[in-house]
Structure 1
Amino acid sequence: MEAVYVDKHYSLVVECKQGSKKACYELYRLYAKAMLNVAFRIVGNIAEAEDVLQEAFTDAFKRMKDFRQETTFGLWLKQIVIHRAINMLRKRKLELVEIEEGQLENIPDTEIIDDSDLQYKVQQIKRAINELPDGYRIVLTLYLLEGYDHEEIGQVLEISENTSRTQFLRAKRKLNDILIRKGITR
């Protein structure tokens, strides 16, 4: 038997499937800010993130009849946003570097944040993440912020799991360097 998730916005989804523009607008209003944040964390540019958001909602509303409640609407929409954002990066010719397995052992895995002055540091870290090259930023974002594992990242980006791990470790190292250079970590 197929799993069906109870979504707190289920009635809006049903109404939207039936063609209610009001319900579609309400779903947009409920999810737009969160989905814009997801898109922005991946593409790193607010104008492009807004484009991704509009394309994702347009796509979702066109495909609404295909949504089967096997997950929540929010998660389904988030997947569309992530795929659209990745496609936007591909248009920019996102380049991820393949690396040999033996090179992984030499990449340090260090802690980069301190609990003091947390809000300020969070903002600084977000800015530093945006300074990362696209390949590093997207893998770091998908892994740390969106909860994808390296196998899933590999599938989404059409790279090996090993490349995803490597990009993540390099992104952490580069992020740490940026934070040290800005005096955010010791």
Structure 2
Amino acid sequence: MDQRTLHIHDELIERCRMGERDAHYQLYKLYAKAMFNVGYRITKSEEEAEDVLQEAFISAFHNLESYRGDASFGAWLKRIVVNKALNALNKRKHELIPDDDEQWDVAEEETSTEYREDLTVERVKQCIEKLPDGYRTVLSLYLLEGYDHQEIGEILGISESTSKSQLNRAKSKLKELLNQVQ
């Protein structure tokens, strides 16, 4: 990635480090909507996503000195949002993914060329929201956020094969939900 692209907001970040409130607000405005969407896709709750967003920005601003610029600011912030969203899920005391990795088989990925007119973006979103937390989390991190299975494993504290298995199970469950007559 071009270094100019990677560090597009360096001047703004530096102003934040110096404590300029306006710079904090500008940075917030640049990233708030996208980061809210990341939080929402994981928590499935607007209220929790708003809390996640606020906590993530507070954490980011307090720890701005630790931002080294190895990745874009957006990628760094996104990782904070993902972690905060996962913490919110854990607070719900839902079991995200079973501890027993051995019980999961890695299923072969299905490919389908079937076209369906009844599938709208809204319908797919609704069905994704109906997925269990663990399935929805892995599906969101993989398909929507672009993480690979190794990264998902590190984020969630699971094996790479468990991530693959959870993704395949999420896809199967999603397909099942989409096939149900409304």
Give the TM-score, by structure 1 length: 0.86
The verdict on how the C-alpha distance between 1:182 and 1:63 changes in structure 2, with shifts beyond 3 A counting, is farther
The verdict on how the C-alpha distance between 1:109 and 1:100 changes in structure 2, with shifts beyond 3 A counting, is farther
Q: Percent identity?
A: 47
Paired residues of 2:104 and 2:165 also in contact (CA < 8 A): no
Gaps of 5+ in 2: none
Q: CA shift at 1:115, angstroms?
A: 7.2
After superposing the two structures, state which structure 1 stretch, 31-40 or 3-12, moved more.
3-12
The verdict on how the C-alpha distance between 1:113 and 1:64 changes in structure 2, with shifts beyond 3 A counting, is farther
- Cα deviation, 1:117-176, whole Å, max 9, x if unaligned, reads 7xx611211111000000000000001011111111111111111111111100000000
Q: Distance in 2 between matches of 1:113 and 1:179?
A: 13
Q: Distance in 2 between matches of 1:115 and 1:17?
A: 51
- Cα deviation, 1:20-69, whole Å, max 9, x if unaligned, reads 11000000011000000000000111100000000000000000111121
Paired residues of 2:104 and 2:162 also in contact (CA < 8 A): no
- Give the structure 2 partner of residue 64 of structure 1: 64
- Give the structure 2 partner of residue 167 of structure 1: 166
Q: Distance in 2 between matches of 1:26 and 1:126?
A: 30
Paired residues of 2:17 and 2:64 also in contact (CA < 8 A): yes
Are 2:159 and 1:155 equivalent residues in the alignment?
no
Q: Distance in 1 between matches of 2:101 and 2:66?
A: 39
Tell me the amino acid that sits aligned with residue 112 of structure 2: E
Tell me the amino acid that sits aligned with residue 106 of structure 2: L
The verdict on how the C-alpha distance between 1:132 and 1:6 changes in structure 2, with shifts beyond 3 A counting, is closer
Q: CA shift at 1:108, angstroms?
A: 5.8
- Give the structure 1 partner of residue 25 of structure 2: 25
Paired residues of 1:143 and 1:149 also in contact (CA < 8 A): yes
- Give the structure 1 partner of residue 126 of structure 2: 127
- Give the structure 1 partner of residue 9 of structure 2: 9
Q: CA shift at 1:182, angstroms?
A: 3.8
Gaps of 5+ in 1: none
Paired residues of 2:101 and 2:159 also in contact (CA < 8 A): no
Q: Distance in 2 between matches of 1:22 and 1:150?
A: 38
The verdict on how the C-alpha distance between 1:17 and 1:144 changes in structure 2, with shifts beyond 3 A counting, is same
- Give the structure 2 partner of residue 104 of structure 1: 106
The verdict on how the C-alpha distance between 1:46 and 1:34 changes in structure 2, with shifts beyond 3 A counting, is same
Name the SS for the 1:148 alignment partner: coil
Name the SS for the 1:68 alignment partner: coil
User: May I ask how many residue pairs the two structures share in their alignment?
Assistant: 178
- Cα deviation, 1:73-100, whole Å, max 9, x if unaligned, reads 1111001000110111111234213454
Q: CA shift at 1:10, angstroms?
A: 1.8
Paired residues of 2:106 and 2:162 also in contact (CA < 8 A): no
Q: Distance in 2 between matches of 1:112 and 1:178?
A: 18
Paired residues of 1:99 and 1:166 also in contact (CA < 8 A): no
The verdict on how the C-alpha distance between 1:49 and 1:102 changes in structure 2, with shifts beyond 3 A counting, is closer
Tell me the amino acid that sits aligned with residue 10 of structure 2: Y
CA RMSD of the aligned region, Å?
2.3
Q: CA shift at 1:5, angstroms?
A: 6.4
